[in-house]
């Protein structure tokens, strides 16, 4: 029997709807949540992602300001732009769209954004709060979205064996921390490109999460029958007909083996945006308290 599909769009819609009363309370106080998105250069895929974020802001009642700077901008000028946004009391959230040109240090950018406005959750102070399982921090959007979607879909996580393929600072590592937290209680393995016998490790998973950015990497025989599979990959590929399309990290044949699977597109992607909206509202609440 083919796997049940976890509908990320439906789940994201519920998250966004749940933000409406919080936005209304802020509005009553004269506060409009406000997200600034900085885009360096004119990369087409990044422009599409940013448009998706701006559209979500409009749906939720968040003001958005789009700041496009040329790819040739001096790194010091990009940092100055962030400083100005940090100092602007009408702005509650700042996101600098990745990827940046290779000459720029993304870690330095993450660290420059004020901790309270770090709606991506990439600042070392926010990641530190996550490591310590402390409340009050902003949690990275994709990991938060994956956890929320699993809970929403009725997937049991406590006592389950979770294997995450991918150890990125943005997805794999923070997601492992979230899933291993007290109260969530998964037993988590982080696998990566240098993991020996990767297919065999994946086969141990009750919940398998692919977040490596390699189209179709996870094959049907890497998956234990009945496992839950979460596909975080967003890879643009050209198929046999010469058409460009999005592919996840999971081979489509996995849907015949898994019990539950997230689609690409329409799975984790919309959840990332919904969690960005949630973080922006949270940031506005904390800054106006």
Instruction: Report, as residue numbers or ranges, the catalytic residues.
Output: 53, 97, 120
Q: How many CB atoms lie within 10 A of CB 42?
A: 10
Binder among 118, 120, 206, 249 for ligand GUN (CB under 6 A): 120
222 is a site residue for ligand GUN (CB under 6 A): no
The Cα–Cα gap between 223 and 251 comes to: 11
Question: 3-state class of 116 per DSSP?
Answer: helix
Angle between helices 141-152 and 268-288 (to 10 degrees): 110
Binder among 12, 100, 141, 147 for ligand GUN (CB under 6 A): 141
Binder among 13, 32, 98, 288 for ligand GUN (CB under 6 A): 98
- Based on DSSP, count helices (H) and strands (E) in the chain, helices before strands: 9, 11
The Cα–Cα gap between 117 and 146 comes to: 22
250 is a site residue for ligand GUN (CB under 6 A): no
Residue closer to ligand GUN by CB (options 68, 256) is 68
65 is a site residue for ligand GUN (CB under 6 A): no
Residue closer to ligand GUN by CB (options 234, 250) is 234
81 is a site residue for ligand GUN (CB under 6 A): no
Residue closer to ligand GUN by CB (options 15, 223) is 15
Binder among 11, 95, 188, 283 for ligand GUN (CB under 6 A): 95
Contact status, residue 286 vs residue 33, Cβ threshold 8 Å? no
Q: How many CB atoms lie within 10 A of CB 235?
A: 16
Instruction: Single out the segment in contact with ligand GUN by CB under 6 A; choices: 61-69, 89-97, 190-198, 260-268.
Output: 89-97
Per-residue DSSP letters for 53-67? Answer: HHHHHHHHT-EEEEE
Instruction: Single out the segment in contact with ligand GUN by CB under 6 A; choices: 91-99, 126-134, 153-161, 211-219.
Output: 91-99
- Expressed in angstroms, the distance from the first to the final Cα of the chain is 51
Contacts of 174 (CB under 8 A, 6+ apart): 121, 127, 130, 139, 140, 143
Smallest gap, in angstroms, from Cβ of residue 120 to ligand GUN? Answer: 5
96 is a site residue for ligand GUN (CB under 6 A): yes
Size of the site for ligand GUN (CB under 6 A): 8
Residues 39-58 that bind ligand GUN (CB under 6 A): 49
Residues 174-193 that bind ligand GUN (CB under 6 A): none
Residue closer to ligand GUN by CB (options 168, 187) is 168
Q: Give the containing element (helix H, strand E) for 18.
A: helix 8-28
Q: How many CB atoms lie within 10 A of CB 183?
A: 7
Q: Which two tokens stand for residue 47?
A: 């422009």
Binder among 97, 114, 126, 262 for ligand GUN (CB under 6 A): 97
Contact status, residue 52 vs residue 9, Cβ threshold 8 Å? no
Smallest gap, in angstroms, from Cβ of residue 53 to ligand GUN? Answer: 9
Instruction: Single out the segment in contact with ligand GUN by CB under 6 A; choices: 1-9, 20-28, 96-104, 204-212.
Output: 96-104
Which CA distances in Å does 171 have to 83, 131, 187?
A: 26, 14, 17
The contact set with ligand GUN (CB under 6 A) reads 49, 95-98, 120, 141, 272
């Amino acid at each position: 029997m083919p796997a049940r599909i976890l509908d990320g769009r439906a789940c994201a819609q519920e998250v966004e709807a749940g933000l409406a009363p919080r936005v209304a309370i802020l509005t009553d106080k004269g506060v409009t949540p406000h997200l600034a998105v900085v885009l360096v250069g004119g990369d087409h895929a990044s422009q599409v992602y940013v448009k998706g974020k701006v559209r979500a802001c409009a749906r939720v009642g968040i003001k958005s300001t789009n700041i496009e700077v040329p790819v040739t901008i001096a790194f010091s000028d990009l940092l100055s732009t962030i400083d100005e946004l940090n100092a602007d009391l009408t702005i509650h959230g700042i996101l600098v769209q990745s990827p940046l040109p290779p000459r720029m240090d993304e870690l330095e950018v993450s660290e420059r954004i004020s901790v309270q406005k770090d709606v991506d959750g990439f600042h070392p102070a926010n990641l530190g709060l996550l490591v310590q399982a402390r409340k009050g921090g902003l949690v990275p959007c994709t990991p938060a979205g994956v956890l929320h979607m699993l809970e929403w879909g009725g997937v049991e996580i406590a006592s389950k064996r979770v294997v995450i393929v991918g150890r990125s600072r943005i997805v794999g590592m923070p997601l492992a921390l979230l899933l291993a937290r007290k109260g969530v209680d998964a037993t988590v393995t982080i696998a990566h490109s240098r993991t020996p016998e990767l297919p065999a490790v994946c086969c141990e998973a009750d919940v398998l999460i692919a977040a490596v950015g390699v189209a179709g990497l996870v094959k049907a025989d890497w998956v234990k029958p009945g496992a839950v599979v979460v596909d975080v990959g967003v890879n643009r590929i050209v198929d046999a007909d010469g058409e460009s399309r999005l592919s996840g990290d999971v081979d489509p044949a996995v849907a015949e083996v898994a019990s539950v699977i997230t689609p690409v597109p329409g799975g984790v992607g919309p959840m990332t945006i919904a969690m960005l909206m949630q973080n922006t509202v949270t940031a506005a609440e904390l800054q106006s308290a």
